[in-house]
Chain A
Amino acid sequence: MKKVAFKTLGCRLNQYETDAIASQFQDNGFKLVPFNKEADVYVINSCTVTHQSDHKSRNFISQANRKNPDSVLVVTGCMANNAKNELEGRDEINYVVENDHKSSVFSLVEAHYNGEIFHPSKLNYDLFSYGSTDKGFHTRSMVKIQDGCDNFCTFCIIPSVRGRAVSRPIQDILENVKSVIAKGAKEVVLTGVNIGRYEYENFKFDDVVEQILDLDGDFRLRISSIEPDGFGDKFLGLLNHPKMTPHLHLCLQSGSDPILLQMRRMYSIKRFMEIANKIRSYRPDFNITTDIIIGFPGESDQDFEATCNVIKELQFGHVHAFKYSIRKGTRAERMQSQVDERIKTQRSEVLREIADDVKFQYRNGFIDKEQIVLVEKTDGENAKGYGEHYVPVEFKGFKLKKNHFYRVKIKNITTDTEPVLIGEQVK
């Protein structure tokens, strides 16, 4: 039996796509092995959002080649689009597959083993033709509803590598959701590059969410990363639905209005605050997590302080902060006043401390409360998973099973940088 290993970098959309490709390999007789083990096929689903992502992707390419130089090495994902020539010039890589042909990675490898060598550009082009994800790496079942982005934020390379915004037909989405529920999925996660801008015929994002929530079945719905500009009040109203999880990853990027304008973001801090406060008015413990870019060109000490203040005020459940890095071809590449790396590093440290502190405060608030935890790992008596707020929980119980919901009373919290709630099953 041939062995295949995967490494996924970056966003939830990449994770979804890897899950689907991994399932297809296994459905066709391949054995899934960890990436650090010897495999016949390595698939690296890369990311290029920052310099660091590029660096990591390159490291994993080298790692795979070291593990088995005779393996079939496939590099796909955003770096495959952005650094195609460089990657195609590396002898150890057999195939560089751009995002729009990613769903055909298995066909490419299958053809390779059948002695048919063809260029990835000849593969099927379909952004939504991924199959089932049931043999993927996640307990949660991700469903792709959209791809690409038309926002063209000045720092962002993603529209160049993922292409223009395209929305999947709503009927296909509903069929996909029904199918994963029928196969036992308990948590459905909507993914895409800019899902709030979903638009297919007359259906907008809130219509998709509403129709999924109306489906029968014992499942809950999670929205992954979303921009604050694409949705309206109807969507916010749906956050009250019993099947909707109280968590949104709402991308802020900066707490300073002048910087948001330079980033070509389409909201002000006031608007972001209004959204956050409205969400918390439905549910005060609603988990709002976010992304922050540190050291965008022109970011002054005052701008940075404003960002820190917003984090403190909104008590984000988690802040994914990263240092700005120039992406070739973006508008921000040509901006004056690039911020010195040392300043970015100092600001990162300050921000991390604040973010860790508010995260702990937020999670600490769950002590003595209950969470409905979807178990991802268990030995029957101890289990790990995520509660509805997308906070990690470890708990003890009886005859615990993976991919089942359990009501858990939270008793304690760890004091790590990634605090975990500790609880007991409520019988």
Chain B
Amino acid sequence: MRSHKVIEIRNLTPSTYVIKMEKKDFTFKTGQYITLGFSGSIDRREYSIYSSEQDEFLEVLIKEVEDGLVSKKLKRCKPGDYLDVDGPFGHFSLKEDEISEKKFLFIATGTGISPIHSFIATHPNMDYQLLHGVRKEEEAYEREAYKKNKYILCTSREKSGDFHGRVTEYLKQNPVSSDTVCYLCGNCHMIYEAYDILEKQGINLGPIHTEVYF
């Protein structure tokens, strides 16, 4: 575990923010996560890495959890503070031989877009479509990072998105071609339901590419 100095806090909505830290010699595979907490504190939480493999800094996307312990404290951190980073962890990774060969569908809900953001920032030329499920348009975190025709915002609580409804509803109405490689990241319920829909549409998911957010 090592300490990383905070460079910047970027507030994206009243409850969601990005912490940008020094990267030092930290290396990771896009899609992996770290555990984060204030230096010396035993309270730590897991966050997927938001930045790309080649960025010279390390970023995580965090949503403040109501009654949460760590996300609330982290929101108050300031440039110059030190955070303990442990990791990287996890196997939610792209397969090297597929990146330039395959067509990808990324399905994320809420801050589950974090590792997907890292995928795309690391491999900007990959052939992808991104379905992002949120409640309101304001949760389309930094959507300018994605190519316009590649990012589909599904809003469930207002009609402001590209699609009004959940990502699972979008999937039902817009079947996916069977040669697509799918990665799912977000809440358990969405993953379970989306997996079912994709399977019925003939997608052979093979070993699951999923990362659950709680």
Contacts and interface: CB of A to CB of B under 8 A. Distances in A.
B151 interface: no
Contacts of A111: none
A137 interface: no
B89 A262 contact: no
Nearest to B88: A150
B90 A150 contact: yes
A53 interface: no
Interface string A24-58: 00000000000000000000000000000000000
Interface of B: 46, 89-91, 188-189, 191-192, 195, 199, 206-208, 210, 212, 214
A152 B89 contact: yes
B93 to A, nearest CB: 11
A404 interface: no
Contacts of B214: 154, 262, 331, 334-335
A154 B206 CA distance: 22
Contact of A266 (B46, B195, B208): B208
Given A267-B207, A271-B207, A331-B46, A261 B212 contact: yes
Nearest to A159: B89
B212 A266 contact: no
Contacts of B212: 261-262, 264
The A interface is mostly helix, strand or loop, or mixed, namely loop
A268 B195 contact: yes
B91 A151 contact: yes
B62 to A, nearest CB: 16
Report which residue of A229, A266, A270 has the largest number of chain B beta carbons within 10 angstroms of its beta carbon: A266
Report which residue of B89, B191, B208 has the largest number of chain A beta carbons within 10 angstroms of its beta carbon: B208
Contacts of B191: 261
A92 to B, nearest CB: 28
A312 to B, nearest CB: 23
B89 A271 contact: no
Nearest to B214: A331
A266 B89 contact: no
A85 to B, nearest CB: 12
A151 B191 CA distance: 18
B188 A258 contact: yes
Nearest to B86: A164
Contacts of A357: none
A376 interface: no
Contacts of B46: 152, 331
Interface in A229-243: 229
29 contacts: A150-B90, A150-B91, A151-B91, A152-B46, A152-B89, A152-B90, A229-B91, A257-B195, A258-B188, A258-B189, A258-B192, A261-B188, A261-B191, A262-B188, A262-B212, A262-B214, A266-B91, A266-B207, A266-B208, A266-B210, A267-B207, A268-B195, A268-B208, A271-B207, A271-B208, A331-B46, A331-B214, A334-B214, A335-B214
Across the A-B interface, the 8 shortest Cβ-Cβ residue pairs: A261-B188, A258-B192, A261-B212, A264-B212, A262-B188, A152-B89, A261-B191, A150-B89
A271 B205 CA distance: 10
B188 A229 contact: no
A268 B195 CA distance: 10
Contacts of B206: 271
Contacts of A154: 214
Report which residue of A150, A229, A267, A335 has the largest number of chain B beta carbons within 10 angstroms of its beta carbon: A150
Nearest to A336: B214
Contacts of A264: 212
Report which residue of B89, B189, B206 has the largest number of chain A beta carbons within 10 angstroms of its beta carbon: B89
Given A150-B89, A266-B91, 8 more contacts: A150-B90, A150-B91, A152-B89, A152-B90, A229-B91, A257-B192, A261-B210, A268-B195
